[in-house]
Amino acid sequence: MSESKTRIKFTVSYDGTDFCGWQRQNLQRETNGIEKPSLSRTLEKALEKVFKHPIDLCASGRTDAGVHAVNQVGHFDTTMTVEQLQRFDLGRATKSFLPSTIVIKKAWIAPPEFHATLSAERKTYRYLIYNSPTPSAFFSRTMGWMYKPLDLNYLNDCSKYLLGEHDFKSFQSVGSEVSTTVRTIYKAQWRWLRSDVAEFSITGSGFLKQMVRNIVGTQLLMARKGYPAEKMSEIIAKTDRKAAGPPAEPQGLYLMKVYYPLDLDNKCLEL
């Protein structure tokens, strides 16, 4: 007779600079030959030390190398009972086993039907750009950089064409198979966080591989070339990756929030 399992949902934040991305089999070699670890395996190793059994993590999505998260959502199953789980704080329990760039923020006992990937309804990402004639040594890990002044009115005009349901194949990088490239975008907006830091925030039903970075890179290219904002609609309609621009730098991208059905959220018991 198999042991009963308890499902744990958790949120984790991380600085993705020193990792090859979320996916553990995607190792990236630096120029000096050192292999960067994956975020998933780093977390699994820490959790295995706490729970004393193998851990197989699922996440809401796989962030790429260098990309950050404020609230990535994951889940795993454990043989620990509810009573045992309520005795400790998961963030504190794993802190000494994780690098300072990864922090488990909150954890819940979730119903067995909860799935970090399959249950997600929408996600919000943001992209930060340091807009200054010279780059910043302090923001080099956490923001993209653009030396020419940004016109956010123009960028917002471009972003309007992203709203609604479209086939976003023009913004899909190779390397991930999906059943459909159609997605719905609910919000896409630029704003100034301060005089030299711009933020692009986008919320959608889901995102293709490097889709947000490709959208940002395309908009920046359009601005440099002086294209009219409506060209964004033309790029979308072509459903051809060659029609869009290059991806923006990974360090400016953050997974901000993952949304789940309210009935599932209400069934989760915070630890």
Q: For the domain that residue 53 is a member of, what is the CATH number? A: 3.30.70.580
Same domain, 33 and 126: no
**The pLDDT value given to residue 146:** 96
Q: Which domain holds residue 19?
A: 6-119
Does residue 81 share a domain with residue 13?
Answer: yes
Same domain, 114 and 178: no
pLDDT of residue 88: 81
Residue where one domain finishes, among candidates 119, 146, 164: 119
Looking at the fold, whether 154 and 181 belong to one and the same domain comes out as yes
Work out how many domains the chain is built from and give that number.
2
Tell whether 114 and 174 lie within a shared domain: no
- The answer to whether residues 137 and 106 belong to one domain is no
Distance CA 149, CA 259 (A): 34
**Distance of alpha carbon 202 from alpha carbon 80, whole angstroms:** 38
Q: What 8-state DSSP symbol labels residue 5?
A: -
How far from 134 is each of 148, 196, 204, CA to CA, in Å? 10, 11, 33
Q: What is the mean pLDDT of residues 186-208?
A: 98
Q: Are residues 138 and 27 in the same domain?
A: no
Regarding pTM above 0.85, the answer is yes
129 and 245 belong to one structural domain: yes
SS3 label, residue 193? strand
Q: Do residues 135 and 236 both lie within one domain?
A: yes
Are 107 and 155 in a shared domain?
Answer: no
Count how many residues are written for the chain. 271
Question: Which amino acid is it at 268?
Answer: C
| 68 SS3 class | strand
| Structural tokens at position 198 | 């711009």
Active site residues: 64
Q: Is residue 261 part of a domain?
A: no
Q: What is the mean pLDDT of the chain?
A: 93
Q: Which of 79-83, 91-95, 107-111 has the lowest mean pLDDT?
A: 79-83
Q: Does the pLDDT value for residue 64 go beyond 90?
A: yes
- Considering the domain architecture, whether residues 203 and 164 belong to the same structural domain is answered as yes
Out of 119, 146, 169, a domain closes at: 119
- Any idea what the CATH number is for the domain that residue 219 is in? 3.30.70.660
Whether residue 269 lies inside any domain: the answer is no
Contacts of residue 63, defined as CB under 8 A and 6 or more positions apart, other chains included, come to: 16, 21, 22, 39, 69, 72, 253, 255
Q: How far apart are the first and last CA of the chain?
A: 28
Looking at the predicted structure, is the pLDDT value of residue 25 above 60?
A: no
Are the C-beta atoms of residues 136 and 120 closer than 8 Å to each other?
A: no
